[in-house]
Structure 1
Amino acid sequence: MLSIFLQTLPFFLIIGLGYGAGRSGFFPEEATAWLTKFVFYFALSAMLFRFSANLTLAEVFDRTFVLAYLSATAFVYAIATLVALMRRVSLSEMAIEAQCAVIGNVGFLGVPMLAMLMGEAAIGPVVLVLAVDLIVFGSLVVILITGARDGRMSLGIFRSVTVGLLKNPMIVSIVLGLAWAGLRWPIPETMNDFLRILGGAATPGALFAIGASLASKSAERPYVAGWLSLCKLVLHPACVAVAVLVVFPVDPYAGAVMIAAASLPVAGNVFILAQHYGVAPKRVSSSILISTVAAIVTVSLVIGWVRGLY
Structure 2
Amino acid sequence: MLAIFLKTLPFFALIALGYGAGRTRFFTPEATAYLTKFVFWFALSAMLFNFAANLSLAQVFDPRFIAAYLLGTGAVYLIATGAGLARGLSVAECAVEAQVAVIGNVGFLGIPMFVLLLGPASAGPMLMVLATDLIVFSSLIVILITGSRDGRVTWRTLRTVGLGLLGNPMIVSIVLGIAWSSTGRDLWPPVAEFMAILGAAATPGALFAIGASLAGKSAERLSVAGWLSFCKLVLHPAAVALTALVILPVADPFAATVMISAAALPVAGNVYMLAQHYGVAPQRVSAAILVSTAVSIVTVSVVIGLLAGGT
Q: TM-score, normalised by structure 1?
A: 0.99
> Does residue 156 in structure 1 map to residue 140 in structure 2?
no
Distance 2:258 2:34 in 1: 31
Contact residue 252 and residue 309 of structure 1 kept, 8 A = no
8 Å Cα contact 1:256/1:309 also seen in 2 = no
The answer on whether the counterparts of 1:100 and 1:228 sit within 8 Å (CA) in structure 2 is yes
How far did 1:152 drift?
1.2
Which residue of 2 is the match for residue 76 of structure 1?
A: 76
**C-alpha RMSD of the superposition:** 0.6
State the one-letter code of the partner of 1:86.
Answer: A
CA distance in 2, matches of 1:188, 1:152: 49
Do the aligned residues in 2 keep the contact of 1:12 with 1:296 (CA within 8 Å)?
yes
Q: 1:191 maps to what in 2? A: 191
**Match of 2:83, as an amino acid?**
V
Percent identity for Structure 1 against Structure 2: 65
User: Alpha-carbon deviations, 1:249-279, whole Å to 9, x = none?
Assistant: 2010000000000000000000000000000
Corresponding residue number in structure 1 for 2:112: 112
Question: Counterpart of 1:161 in 2: which secondary structure?
Answer: helix
Amino acid paired to 1:96 = V
Q: In the alignment, is the contact (CA less than 8 A) between 1:52 and 1:178 conserved in 2?
A: yes
C-alpha contact 1:81 1:95 (8 A) present in aligned 2? yes
Structure 1 gap ranges (5+):
none
Give the Cα separation in 2 of the matches to 1:275 and 1:291: 19
SS in 2 for 1:264: coil
- Using the alignment, how far apart are the partners of 2:249 and 2:197 within structure 1? 38
Deviation at 1:173, TM superposition (A): 0.1
Amino acid corresponding to residue 200 of structure 1 in structure 2: A
Q: Measure the CA separation in 1 of the matches of 2:3 and 2:294.
A: 19
Write out aligned runs for 1:93-104 (5 A): 93-104=93-104
Q: Distance in 1 between matches of 2:53 and 2:75?
A: 33
For residues 228 and 186 of structure 1, the distance between their equivalents in structure 2, rounded to whole angstroms, comes to 44
2:177 is matched with 177
Who is 1:275 aligned against?
276
Aligned partner of 1:211 in structure 2 is 211
Deviation at 1:309, TM superposition (A): 3.2
Q: Deviations over 1:103-124 (max 9, x none)?
A: 0000000010011100000000
The CA deviation at 1:209 is 0.3
Counterpart amino acid of residue 290 in structure 2: L
Distance in 2, matches of 1:122 and 1:141, equals: 28
**How far apart, CA to CA, are the structure 2 residues paired with 1:88 and 1:216?**
29
Residue type at the aligned position of 1:260: S
User: Match of 2:73, as an amino acid?
Assistant: T
Matched residues in 2 for 1:123 and 1:226: separation? Answer: 30
Q: Tell me the matched-pair count.
A: 310
Distance in 2, matches of 1:62 and 1:153, equals: 30
Q: Deviations over 1:135-159 (max 9, x none)?
A: 0000000000011111111011001
Structure 2: gaps (5+ residues): none
**Which residue is equivalent to 2:267?**
266
Q: Please give the secondary structure, in 2, of the residue aligned with 1:285.
A: helix
CA deviations over 1:54-77 (Å, ceiling 9, x no partner)? 001112111110010000000000
* Consecutive aligned runs of 4 or more in structure 1 exceeding 6 Å deviation: none
Q: Which amino acid aligns with 2:104?
A: G
Deviates more, 1:44-53 or 1:300-309: 300-309
1:298 aligns with 2:299: yes
* Kept in 2: contact 1:253–1:309 (CA 8 A): no
Structure 1 stretch 62-71 or stretch 147-156: which is displaced more? 147-156
Instruction: Give 2:65's aligned residue.
Output: 65
Partner of 1:3: 3
d(CA) in 2 for partners of 1:201, 1:63? 32
